[in-house]
Amino acid sequence: MTQATAVAEAPANDLALTPELADAVVGTWAEDTETAYFIAPDRILDVLAHLRDAQGYDLLSNLTCIDYQGYGGKLRADVSERLDVVYHLYSTRRGGGSVALHVRVPADDTVPSATSVYPGANLQEREVYDLFGVKFDGHPNLRRILLWDGFNGHPMRKDWHEAYYEEDAKPFRSRHPKGEYAFHEDKLPWAKNTTYPAGWDPDSWQEAVAYVPVSQAPQHENQPHLDTESIVVNLGPHHPSTHGVFRMLTRVEGETILALEPEMGYLHRNHEKIGERNTWLMNMPFTDRLDYLNSMSNNWAYALAVEKLAGIEVPERAEYLRVIMAEFTRIVNHTWSIGFILNDLGALQTPALYAIEEREMILDMFEAVSGARMMCNYMRFGGVVRDLPEGWREQAAYLANDRLPRALDELDRLLTENEILKARGRGVGYLAVEDLIALSVTGPMIRAGGLAYDIRKAEPYGIYDRFDFDIPTLPNSDIYDRYYIRLLEAMESVRILQQALRDMPEGETLGGRGGYTLRAPEGEVYGRLEAPKGELGFYLASDGKTQPWRYHVRSPSYINLNALGPMSVGYKVADAIVILGAIDIVLGEVDR
Amino acid sequence: MQLPLGIEVPIPTFEQFVFIQVALLTAVAGLAVVISRNLFHSALALTLTFFGVAGVYVFLEAEFLAVSQVLVYVGAIAMLIAFAIMLTRSMMYGRTSPLNNQWGKSSLFAFLFFIGLLAFARATPWPAAGEEVVADEALIGALGREFVTTYVIAFEVLGLLLLLALVGAVMLARDR
Amino acid sequence: MDWLQLLVFPAIRALILIFVLLTGFAYLTWYERKLLARFQVRYGPNRAGKFGLLQPAADAVKAFFKEEIIPNHVDKPVYLLAPALALVPALIIWAVIPIAKGTPAIADVNIGFLWILAVAGIESYGIILAGWSSNNNYSLLGALRSSAQMVSYELPLGLFLVSILMLAGSFSLVDLVEGSRQWWEWIWLWLAFPFFFICILAETNRSPFDLPETENELVAGFQTEYGGMKFALFFIAEYVNMISTSAIMATLFFGGWKGPFAEQYIWLGPVYLLIKVLILLFLFIWVRASIGRPRYDQLMKFCWQFMLPLGLVYVSISAVLAVFLK
């Protein structure tokens, strides 16, 4: 990538906007491989609507923000409008690359909410509001999402200082109702040097529960003469069904859900802030902890983005190894999620344990190459960290050609025709595939709705264009299909594995030095791949130093949760649990 | 048994001993139904009363009736009452006064009802103890024969009513 | 003599029965865990003693030494009464089950069938009291589900029992086992067995009808607020219930204590009964390991739209058979 300079004034013509919208584009990066267009804040909705309707960019994949205060690079000398809200749009029908839009605003300013054009902007805008303080005008439910209301400041801003490490204050005081306790702050020299948001009192604070939009409640069509009362039922955060510390606030009438609101952030550790302090390579093991079931895919997605930014080539053998590891990971994830969908249906872990048996075999393979079963940390910029040990390829070939096909067939025979699975799954959690895409849902869920959108085919990365495999689709977009699509995808992964293990050449596995002293050139990049749970993207910005200027994870688990509420409305509480299970989330990735 | 002050108390036989317990239980539970301030506790006390009545039936060597009492009253009716209370939240944990503005009238009627019952009890020709009673299967058989001979109309109408109730339940359960 | 006859002898018999049943419960947990593990490609308990045989003892010790926690917001007397009340019906239902030739467990009463129905009717009280007194939404929902489910499934259960009763012609279970049946009677009975078994699954709140305690929705249902020994009592109640209902099914459908030479050697009776109970318990566990859970409305609909009409048809045909063939 060439050296980028200041903003060029000329509007870009290849965005192909209508003449009325041409003045909406106020600039673009002058020289950049990843072209981004700067849009005037008041015109962003028109541009988005135009791109969606006239040009087919129907998927708002990524929405995030970047703070340029104190930016050291040449790209942005002037930081008077220090915050950029960044949009990445893709077309699911056409495939291909993205359109990146920036909206520049001063701190604490408002941007029109994209939720009216893309409902999927919901959770992402709330995250930007929470972490950067950008307000979105017209957002239906603009509350903090990952942090609690008593948190002072917006931690992803560059001028926010971390308690005790950068600042002598804590963001909030320990809370304990009564009894024997010792406050953390009493033991520390900074004592109760605590700050709260203005006009906010920790003692009178009560979490609002009434915000579940009751207006969504259907009028009682069946029994107009009955006066019934809806109640708020709280599932989680400590509840066996939520797969971790996740909370669903439901408004129910009887057992029918009128509205559902996901609440998260209990596992939030501000992965992105920590990522900005790490050097480029230090983030590699850190990505393992996102979706801890699929560390190989996470590694690859991050490596992909950095390689795109720094222009690093990957040797042939390493590309094959990456494909092999990623497809093994996909099988691990899909067998696991099938097992736990069935577990949510009350099948007492028998299917889960059948599925986990194969997972154990694959984890042994991971351990043999990387030294760890789950936190693999296997990829490097420009390849993988080490070559295969003796006998690995034979064992992998045995798994891919013999054992895994048999195991997947067994699961198929065991489960697919099961009457109770059909009774519970057919027609439950239905949402039309167009709605799913509008909600930015990616991965197996849209393929279970009949749309063959898979980044491996739509915008091939690595060497996926060399393999012969299909994108399975199913028509019904219900829980049953979401279960079955995962089984079919795992079978396709086995096909890819067979080909990759057959064709893999000998050679070096790491070009260059693996980026131990990487200084990525100035610029920004969005790299994505088809992770087992959906589109996993890394949005990175560099000012040419040893650490990323901005490190954002577009996590599929988090954004797929957009669809949880709309999918659950009208079904029973028992269904909502399986609907959540069929979205397949990992809280490490949701909360980051 | 000789108590101080020269009062003679007869040693109860085993049956009397148990009967006293059952009778006390029934009476105390019945009282608890009325005076409990918590509706759910009242319902539970009512269940206990039903049990006590079943116990009395056992003493009358009417096991069939006793078990039917448990089956119908304890197993179904009291359950239904408990169910209804649990479904109405405000009644469930609230503490209500056992008295409302109709306590005067209702106590009058209760008293009159008690007088009526007393009159009935005195008018009935009770069989003397030790007299042979028809028991066991013969009794159930006789009961069954009565149903299909003397009371056949009532029995059939009742059966029809129950069938209708069943059909209604199935209709309620079907998909709308 | 009066007191001895009426109180002491039955009390001794009852104590022996309770001892046997509680030991049976302890080893039923072991049996279930071992079997489930085998169904799920695992080993199951294998550390405490040979084959994990001391595991039940270890569990019991653990339950006893757990801290007794009574939450502040519960209705204390009812809260404490509930676990005991849950266990009682599971034990007293044994009173009428014949365990050997001419020997019922406690008493040969002429109302054996009704006894079963009546005890089944009061079974859900423990659960209802627990759910109500816990003062917790999940507990309450669990209790409501449980009572609705039990009351509903008692109807088809009662209809099947009445059919068997009509064919047997006696209220006593002792007579039922010792009386003879014709071949077509056995076949007609066994036709009903799968449906009877489904009702029993619902009555005992066993998987796949364990809706009152569905982990994924209601945390632990009615027993959410219970811990330590009080929780263990609910647990015991569920498992003793399994044993009791298995014994009832063995008695009604498979000849109870009957088997080769059981008439001559009276001690063979309990052995045969035990074997039949173990096979039926295997069925319970097999179902648990392999079938998912229907949704609550599906469960109720299944009862009212399928089981109940089926039961009515079965009763009608049984009545015709009883009148014209016996």
ipTM of this complex prediction, to 2 decimal places: 0.74
Q: How high is the pLDDT of residue A219?
A: 45
Place of tokens 């795992």: A490
Token pair of C180 as six digits: 């003879």
Q: Give the Cα separation of A307 and B71 in Å (integer).
A: 76
Token pair listed for C119: 């005890």
Q: How far, in Å, CA of B47 to CA of B27, rounded?
A: 12
Nearest CA-CA partner of A459 in A99, A100, A118, A98: A98
Annotated domain spans of chain B: 1-95, 135-176
Nearest to A73 by CA among A547, A518, A516, A552: A547
Write the CB contacts of C280 (distance below 8 Å, at least 6 apart in sequence): C246, C249, C250
Q: Collapsing DSSP states into helix, strand and coil, what is residue A465?
A: helix
Residues 6+ apart with CB under 8 A from A153: A133, A160, A171, A195, A197
**Residue C115, CA distances (Å) to B97, C61, C94, C128, C173 in order:** 38, 35, 10, 21, 10
Task: Mark yes or no for CB contact C121/B70 under 8 Å.
Answer: yes
Residue carrying the six token digits 């109709």:
B102
Q: Report the residue of chain A nearest C224, measured CA to CA.
A: A239
Distance from C-alpha of C68 to C-alpha of C114, rounded to nearest angstrom: 38
What fold, for A7-137?
A: Beta Polymerase; domain 2 (3.30.460)
Question: How far, in Å, CA of A1 to CA of A13, rounded?
Answer: 22
User: What does each C-alpha distance from A203 to A173, A266, A490, C290 come to in angstroms?
Assistant: 11, 21, 51, 51
**Which among A7, A9, A42 is positioned nearest to A24, based on CA atoms?**
A42
**C132 chain-B contacts, CB cut-off 8 A:** 40, 82, 86, 92
pLDDT exceeds cutoff 90 at A506: no
Which ranges of C66-172 does DSSP label H, i.e. alpha helix?
A: 76-92, 112-122, 125-133, 137-168
Q: Measured between beta carbons, which residues in chain C are less than 8 angstroms from residue A420?
A: 208, 291-294
* Interatomic CA distance for residues A408 and C49, integer angstroms: 37
Is the CB of residue A248 less than 8 Å from the CB of residue A580? yes
Task: Please count the residues of chain B.
Answer: 176
Q: Which architecture does CATH list for B1-95?
A: Up-down Bundle (1.20)
- Which chains border B (3 or more CB–CB pairs < 8 Å)? C
Q: State whether C128 and B79 contact (CB < 8 Å).
A: yes
Over the range C240-252, which residues count as b (16 or more CB within 10 Å of their CB) and which as e?
bbbbbbbbbbbbb
Residue pair C150/C203 in contact (Cβ under 8 Å)? The answer is: yes
Angle, helices A573-583/A316-344, rounded to nearest 10 degrees? 170
- Pair of tokens at residue C56: 């039940």
Least confident of A220-229, A515-524, C55-64: A220-229
CATH topology of domain A271-591: Cytochrome-c3 Hydrogenase; chain B (1.10.645)
CA distance B119 to chain C (A): 33
Burial bucket for residue A374 (CB in 10 Å: 0-12, 13-18, 19+): middle
Indicate whether A543 pLDDT > 50. Answer: yes
Once rounded to an integer, what is the mean pLDDT over residues C279-290?
88
- In this complex, the residue of C42, C288, C295 whose CB is nearest that of residue A353 is C42
Distance to chain C for A219, nearest Cα, Å: 21
Asked if the Cβ–Cβ distance from C291 to A344 is below 8 Å, we say no
pLDDT for residue A329: 92
CB A154 within 8 A of CB A109: no
A334-358 mean pLDDT: 82
CA distances from C219 to A240, A345, A422, C120, C216 (A): 6, 14, 24, 26, 6
For A105, list phi and psi in degrees, rounded to 5. Answer: -140, 150
Q: Give chain B's radius of gyration (CA, Å).
A: 21
Using an 8 Å CB-CB cutoff, list chain B residues near C305: 170, 173-174
Mutate to test the interface with C, among B53, B58, B79 (most CBs of C within 10 A): B79
Which chain C positions have a beta carbon within 8 Å of B86's beta carbon? 128, 131-132, 140, 143-144
A469: confidence class by pLDDT, cuts 50, 70, 90: confident
A125: amino acid identity, one letter: E
Q: Give the number of other CB atoms < 10 A from CB of residue A417.
A: 9
The reported pLDDT for the residue numbered B93 is 55
List chain C domain ranges.
66-325
Please state the domain extents for chain A: 7-137, 271-591
Identity of the residue numbered A371: G
HEC readout, C225-241: CCCHHHHHHHHHHHHHH
CA dist A322 and A299 (Å) reads: 9
Q: Beginning with the edge strand found earlier in the chain, give each strand of the sheet holding A83-90 in spatial order.
A: A7-8, A25-29, A36-39, A99-105, A83-90, A59-67
Distance of CA B176 to the CA centre of its chain: 39
Q: How confident is the model at residue A59 (pLDDT cuts 50, 70, 90)?
A: confident
Q: Which pLDDT belongs to residue B128?
A: 65
Q: pLDDT-derived band of residue A215, with 50, 70 and 90 as boundaries? A: very low
**pLDDT single digits (tens) A156-213:** 888 887 766 666 556 565 555 565 566 666 666 555 666 777 777 767 776 655 444 4
Average pLDDT over residues C165-189: 79
Burial class (CB in 10 A: 0-12, 13-18, 19+), A56: middle
* Residue numbers in C near B137 (CB within 8 A): 110, 170-171
Determine which of C141, C290, C291, C300 to mutate to test the interface with A (most A C-beta atoms within 10 Å): C291
Q: How far apart are CA C111 and CA C170, in angstroms?
A: 9
3-state per-residue secondary structure call for A184-244: HHHHCCCCCCECCCCCCCCCCCCCCCCCCCHHHCCCCCCCCCCCCCCEEEEECCCCHHHCC
pLDDT interval class at B1 (50, 70, 90): low
State the Cα–Cα distance between residues C135 and C73, nearest whole angstrom: 7
For chain C, positions 118-147, list CB contacts with chain B under 8 A.
118, 120-122, 124-125, 128-129, 131-132, 135, 140, 143-144, 147
Report how far residue A371's alpha carbon sits from residue A365's, in angstroms, rounded to the nearest whole number: 10
Decide if pLDDT at A115 tops 50. Answer: yes
pLDDT of residue B112: 93
The residues, ordered by sequence, that sit 6+ positions from A374 with a Cβ below 8 Å of its Cβ are A288, A292, A293, A295, A363, A366
Q: What is the pLDDT of residue A213?
A: 45
Q: Is the pLDDT of residue B116 over 90?
A: yes
- Residue B122's CB: how many other CB atoms inside 10 A? 8
Q: What values do phi and psi take at A400, rounded to 5?
A: -70, -35
Distance CA B82, CA B72 (A): 14
Residue A109 tokens, joined? 């300013």
Burial category of C76 from C-beta neighbours within 10 Å (exposed 0-12, middle 13-18, buried 19 and up): exposed
Using CA coordinates, name the residue in chain A closest to C213: A346
For chain A, the chains sharing at least 3 beta-carbon pairs closer than 8 angstroms are C
What's the average model confidence in pLDDT over A213-234? 54
Q: CB–CB of A281/A380 below 8 Å?
A: yes
The verdict on whether omega for the bond into residue C45 sits within 30 degrees of 0, i.e. cis, is: no
Q: Residue A363: helix, strand or coil by DSSP?
A: helix
Check: CB of residue A590 under 8 Å from CB of residue A267. yes
Is pLDDT larger for residue A353 or for residue A193?
A353
For residue C300, list chain A residues with Cβ-Cβ distance below 8 A: none
pLDDT at A194: 66
What's the CA gap between C263 and C249, in Å, rounded?
21
Whether A2 shows a pLDDT value over 80: the answer reads: no
Q: Give the DSSP per-residue string, A130-150.
A: HHH--EEET-TT---SSS-TT
Nearest to B81 by CA among B26, B33, B22, B32: B33
Whether C289 has its CB under 8 Å from any CB of chain A: the answer is: yes
Nearest residue on chain C to B70, judged by CA atoms?
Answer: C118
Among A257-261, A394-398, C13-17, top mean pLDDT goes to A394-398
Decide: A531 and A553 in contact? Cβ < 8 Å: no
Name the CA radius of gyration of chain C, rounded. 20
Among A182-191, A579-588, C68-77, the minimum mean pLDDT is found in: A182-191
pTM for the whole structure = 0.78
Which percentage of chain A shows pLDDT scores above 90?
6
Tell me, what's the pLDDT at B94? Answer: 56
Averaged pLDDT score across all residues of chain B: 79
DSSP state, C172?
Answer: -
The pLDDT-based confidence of B136 (bands split at 50, 70, 90) is low
Average pLDDT estimate for B111-131:
82
Token reading at C267: 């001690």
- State percent of chain A over pLDDT 70: 83
pLDDT at A3 over 60: no
